[in-house]
Chain A
Amino acid sequence: MAKTKSLLNTDRPLTIEEVYEARPRLWLLYTVVVLIIAALLGWSGSAISYNGLANKGMEIAKGIANGLTHPDTHLLFNLTDEGVPYQLLQTVAIAVLGTLIGGVLAIPFSFLACDRIVPKWVAVIFQAVILGIRTIPSLVWALVWIRVTGPNAFCGVVTESVCSIGMICKMYITAIEDVDTKILESLDAAGCTGFQKVRYGMLPQIIPNFISTVIYRFDINVKDATTLGIVGAGGIGAALIQCMNSSRWSMVGAYLFGLVALMIVIEIFSTRVRNRLARG
Chain B
Amino acid sequence: MKNNQTNEVVVRPPLFDRIFKPKTITLSNGHTVEKPMSRAPFIWAAVIAVVLISARMTGFDFRVIIERGGQLTYILSRIFHPDWSYFRGIFVEADRANAVKLFNALLDTIKMSIMGSMIGATLALPIAVLSSTNINKNKAVVWFFRIILMIIRTLPTLIIAKFASLIFGLGTYAGTVAIVVFTFGIVAKMMYESIETIDMGAFEATESFGANKFQAFWSACMPQILPTYLSYCLYSLEMNIRAAAILGYVGAGGLGILINEVIGWRDYESLGAILLGLFVVVFIIENTSQYLRRKLS
Q: How far is the CA of A264 from the CA of B79 in the complex (A)?
A: 37
B158 vs chain A, min Cβ distance (A): 4
- Report the minimum CB–CB distance from A262 to chain B (whole Å): 8
Q: Are B57 and A55 in contact (CB under 8 A)?
A: no
- Residue-by-residue, is A55-70 near B (CB-CB < 8 Å gives 1, otherwise 0)? 1010011001000000
* Contact between chains at A57 and B111 (CB < 8 Å): no
Q: Is B4 an interface residue (CB 8 A)?
A: no
B79 and A154 within 8 A (CB): no
Is B139's CB within 8 Å of the partner chain A? no
Q: Bound state CA distance, A94 and B51, in angstroms?
A: 10
CA distance in complex: A147, B115 (Å): 37
A256 and B112 alpha carbons, distance in the complex (Å): 26
Cα distance, A230 to B252, chains bound together (Å): 15
Q: B65 near A51 (CB under 8 angstroms)?
A: no
Are A140 and B58 closer than 8 Å at their CB atoms? no
What is the minimal beta-carbon distance from B186 to any residue of chain A, in angstroms? 12
The interface centre, meaning the residue of B59, B172, B271 with most chain A CB atoms within 10 A of its CB, is B59
Q: Mark A240-259, 1 if CB is under 8 A from B, else 0.
A: 11001000000000001001
B22 within 8 A of A: no
Given A61-B167, A264-B154, the answer on whether A139 and B55 have CB atoms closer than 8 Å is: no
Q: Is B171 an interface residue (CB 8 A)?
A: yes
Within residues 200 to 259 of chain A, which ones have a CB less than 8 A from any CB in chain B? 223-224, 226-227, 230, 234, 237, 240-241, 244, 256, 259
Which of A9-17, A35-43, A111-119, A177-185 binds B? A35-43
- Interface residue ranges of A120-158 to B (CB < 8 Å): 135-140, 143-145, 147-149, 152-154, 156-158
B169 & A148 in contact (Cβ 8 Å cutoff): no
With an 8 Å Cβ cutoff, the count of chain B residues facing the other chain is 61
Question: A143–B271 Cα gap in the complex (Å)?
Answer: 12
What is the interface of chain A mostly: helix, strand, loop, or mixed?
A: helix
Interface size on A, as a range, is 35 or more
Q: Min CB distance, B257 to chain A, in Å?
A: 13
Q: How far is the CA of A271 from the CA of B93 in the complex (A)?
A: 56
Chain A residue, CB-CB nearest to B161: A227
* Contact stretch, chosen from B12-20, B202-210, B211-219, B242-250: B242-250
Give B46-75 interface residues, CB cut-off 8 Å to A: 50-51, 53-55, 57-61, 64-65, 68-69, 71-72, 74-75
Verify if B195 is at the interface (C-beta below 8 Å from A).
Answer: no
Contacts of B25 in A (CB 8 A): none
Interface window among B28-36, B129-137, B275-283: B275-283
Q: How far is the CA of A37 from the CA of B169 in the complex (A)?
A: 28
Q: Is A153's CB under 8 angstroms from B59's CB?
A: yes
Chain B contacts for A153, CB-based, 8 A? 57-59
Contact indicator A135/B65 (Cβ below 8 Å): no
With a 10 A CB-CB cut-off, give which of B54, B176, B245 has the most chain A CB atoms.
Answer: B54
- Asked whether any CB of chain A lies closer than 8 Å to the CB of B267, the reply is no
B118 is an interface residue with CB less than 8 A from chain A: yes
Residue of B55, B153, B271, B282 near A135 (CB, 8 A) is B282
Partner of B278, one of A135, A226, A264: A135
Cross-chain contact A147 with B65 (CB below 8 angstroms): no
| B259 at interface by CB-CB < 8 Å | yes
Question: Taking A49-B173, A100-B51 as contacts, is the C-beta distance between A44 and B150 under 8 angstroms?
Answer: no
Offer 13 A-B interface pairs, CB within 8 angstroms, sorted by A.
Answer: A47-B112, A48-B111, A48-B112, A64-B166, A96-B51, A97-B54, A143-B75, A153-B58, A154-B60, A224-B156, A234-B58, A244-B162, A244-B163
Closest 7 CB pairs of A and B: A54-B169, A263-B154, A93-B54, A44-B111, A153-B58, A47-B111, A93-B57
